[in-house]
Structure formats: structure tokens, C-alpha cells
Amino acid sequence: MADQYAQSGEDKRQAGIPAIRWEEPPEGPVLVLLDQTRLPAEEVELVCTDASALVEAIRSLAVRGAPLLGIAGAYGVALAAARGFDVEEAATVLAGARPTAVNLSLGVNRARAAYGAALAGGGEPVQGARAALAAARRLHREDAEASARMAGHGLALLDELLPGGGHRILTHCNTGSLVSGGEGTAFAVALAAHRAGRLRRLWVDETRPLLQGARLTAWEAARSGMAYTLLTDNAAGSLFAAGEVDAVLIGADRIAADGSVANKVGSYPLAVLARYHHVPFIVVAPVTTVDPHTANGAAIEVEQRPGSEVTEVTAPQVPVTGAGGGIPVAPLGTQAYNPAFDVTPPELVTAIVTEEGAVSPVTAEGLAELCARARPG
């Protein structure tokens, strides 16, 4: 079950409502999410008391972005365990809630394994629940640490590639604190550049059809005091042609063993543009996003989303008239092609930056070496 309540206070906004948190009120543990579908219009929290509410929140993108999906999945297993639900069943539905971001199943499996190990060691379910929660908290903490280290490596790489400073960075989708235990991935690098006085402008792709760039990245950029400008996705070409982009920084939902990068649809065209215009195309992601079990880009399952996300416009502040819950912008019955992600081949990626350092050029060997450093044994 999920409940919603609105946070209005300026205090909370200043402090920043975290994207996710675990709470233990007297009625029992809950997972509290900042409902990202309602941003930037309002800051509303969603309180999940079971895995099915969390699955719904994941599918509706109330909680989203690869690293945060991993953290949410781990807490979801802990929630099921703490509330006495069938942990295996909860883990299975959670892991399958969205297919592309590998972090989701990784987070679920970490908490599931901790629960299983506690029981296998002779523990009662209550000890299993504690172990699952500890695993979720660890993943949350590790992601925050990874985020800070990615920011450092990413900024060093930017400074090396663009020695003049005054970086003008184009980004796509949303990769800040809304998707992470820390300050995010690609956005964290832009933020580090901003703090170091070396970010001239953040170009923010609006990211059709669900506007993660316009609604979320612009919101985060404004709160951080960055110089930013929003553009429609299809304005990127003329921006490159005008020589206004020094580097592209994006996140990733899954990186295959060969270095192919699945990220929000619209990333691949940016990589093609960047190559044509001799602009570095940099992917920033934690090592948890690299999936050694996915051989190449063709093996990545790309989530297909409802066509109504394209044929209708939805926003929390507009009245609903279409069958998909939004205002129709196409003739009734129009079919839509709506993949949530696309795949960029490794040869178009200048570098992949992780908390363990950067791989450039992007090769299977380089990635494997970096993963071995992060996951020894």
C-alpha cells in the first residue's frame, strides 16, 4: 500500500527532501519516496508499506534512475521481510518491475542474499529482516561514496580533455541526487565543475516524452545555483553546430561487458552528434551499472513504455482527458514507438567514468579490469 502526503515547508526544501528513506514509525517500517512524477510542481512523498506499492512506484517512475532503483529494490526486500511478507515472492516482483537498469536486480539480490544467509545460519526471520535492512543501508551508503568519487574522477577527466576550463556541458535525462544515495552520476560531475568555478553552462535536454530533463534536472540545477539552459531534444543538433557544446555527460542504466551503454532514449543520437562535431561523449556510472553477464548492446533488454506517454501530455498540474491519463496531442488511436532507452556502441563513447576511475578508450578488457578492481575475487 502507498500513502501520499505533501511537504510544504521551506525548511524541508532547503535541507532537500531525500529521494528515498527508511522509517520505523510505531505502525511498522515504511519506505518513503519523494514522488518524482509530481516534480517540479510539488514535493509530495509516497509512503510504501509493501513491495507491491514499491513496484507501482517503480513502474510509474515515482522512483527512478539506475542507482536509486538498486537502493529501492534492496529496501523493498527489507520491507517485505520486516513486515512478514514472502521475501522470495517480493524479491521476484521487485527485480522484474523494470528490465533495463541492472542496478534494480542487483540491489534486490543483495538484500535477498543477506536475508537468505541469515536464515541459513540458523537465524529467525527477524534476524533475516535485520540483515536485509543492513544490506540495503550498505548499498545506499556505498552509492553515496561512489557518487563523490565519480565526481572527482569526472572533473579530472573534463579538465584534462578541456584544459581551457569554462566547460559547457550538455546532459540528457536526470542523473543527480534524485537518482542516487549521493549527488548522482553525470550531474555530480557537472556539480563538481560548478563548485570549482569551471562550469560555464549546463545544457539540459528536456528528455521527451516524460521530461526528466525539464522537470527534474532543471529543478536540481536551479537549486544548485548553476547557469543552465533547457532545450528541446531536437535542438541539440543546432547547438552542436553552433559550437556551443564542449562535452556531453550522461549516466547509464546498463553497461554491457563490451562497453555498450544503455541510457535514456535520445542518448545515442547525442553520441552520433558528438562524434561528428569532435566533442567528448562521457558516460558516468557506478561499477554496479556494469553488467558482465550482458555480453553486448544487442543483449540489453530495452523497456518499451505505453504509447500514451507519447500521444498524450501528462503533468500533475493539468486536467486529465485522455485514456492514458493526459491531454491528447495526437489523433485518437495513433500508434506510438516508445522505447525508454537506447544503446550507444562503445566506439562512440569517449570514456566511461566510474568510482574506480575512467576507461578510455572503452574496451571490454579495460572495463573488466576496472570491475575486477571494484569486485576483487
Residues with catalytic function: 253
Per the document, the length of the chain is 377
Binding status of residue 173 toward ligand MRU by CB under 6 A: yes
Question: Of 274, 206, 236, 251, nearest to 354 (Cα)?
Answer: 251
Tell me the window of 58-66, 148-156, 226-234, 315-323 that interacts with ligand MRU (CB under 6 A). 58-66
Separation CA 291–CA 227 (nearest Å): 35
97 or 158, CB closer to ligand MRU?
97
Strand-by-strand arrangement of the 357-359 sheet: 228-231, 199-205, 167-171, 247-250, 281-284, 351-354, 357-359
- The H-assigned helical ranges of 277-332 are 308-311
76 or 128, CB closer to ligand MRU?
76
Instruction: State the number of binding residues for ligand MRU (CB under 6 A).
Output: 18
- Give the shortest CB-323-to-ligand MRU separation in angstroms: 22
Tell me the window of 142-150, 155-163, 226-234, 247-255 that interacts with ligand MRU (CB under 6 A). 247-255
Binding status of residue 189 toward ligand MRU by CB under 6 A: no
Binding status of residue 212 toward ligand MRU by CB under 6 A: yes
How many CB atoms neighbour CB 26 within 10 A? Answer: 4
Helix, strand, coil proportions of the chain in percent (round to 5)?
45, 20, 35
**Which residue is listed with cell 537518482?**
179
Range list of β-strands (E), the chain: 2-6, 20-23, 30-34, 44-48, 167-171, 199-205, 228-231, 247-250, 254-256, 261-264, 281-284, 290-291, 312-313, 327-328, 341-344, 351-354, 357-359
- Give the shortest CB-214-to-ligand MRU separation in angstroms: 12
Q: Which of 106, 150, 252, 282 binds ligand MRU (CB under 6 A)?
A: 252
DSSP, res 213: I
Separation CA 32–CA 350 (nearest Å): 37
131 or 179, CB closer to ligand MRU?
179
Binding to ligand MRU (CB under 6 A): which residues in 334-353?
Answer: 340
Q: Which of 51, 61, 87, 192 binds ligand MRU (CB under 6 A)?
A: 61
Q: Which of 31, 66, 169, 189 binds ligand MRU (CB under 6 A)?
A: 66
What string marks each residue from 6 to 45 as x (binds ligand MRU by CB under 6 A) or -?
----------------------------------------
220 or 253, CB closer to ligand MRU?
253
Q: Which of 140, 201, 208, 264 binds ligand MRU (CB under 6 A)?
A: 264
How far out from the chain centre does Cα 306 lie?
A: 20
CA dihedral for 66, 248, 159, 217, sign (positive or negative): negative
65 or 326, CB closer to ligand MRU?
65
CB-based contact 49:163 (threshold 8 Å): no
Rg (CA), the chain: 20
- Give the shortest CB-264-to-ligand MRU separation in angstroms: 3
Instruction: Please report, as a single letter, which amino acid is at residue 119.
Output: L
- Give the shortest CB-120-to-ligand MRU separation in angstroms: 33
64 or 110, CB closer to ligand MRU?
64
Strand-by-strand arrangement of the 290-291 sheet: 290-291, 254-256, 261-264, 341-344
Tell me the window of 126-134, 171-179, 233-241, 272-280 that interacts with ligand MRU (CB under 6 A). 171-179
| 212 marked ligand binding residue | yes
Binding status of residue 354 toward ligand MRU by CB under 6 A: no
Binding status of residue 99 toward ligand MRU by CB under 6 A: no
- Give the shortest CB-40-to-ligand MRU separation in angstroms: 15
| 64 marked ligand binding residue | yes
For 53, the grid coordinates are 506499492
Separation CA 146–CA 240 (nearest Å): 31
Chain residues in the site for ligand MRU (CB under 6 A): 61, 64-67, 101, 173, 175, 179, 184-185, 212, 251-253, 263-264, 340
Which residues define the annotated binding site? 64-66, 98, 212, 263-264
Which residues define the annotated binding site for substrate? 64-66, 98, 212, 263-264
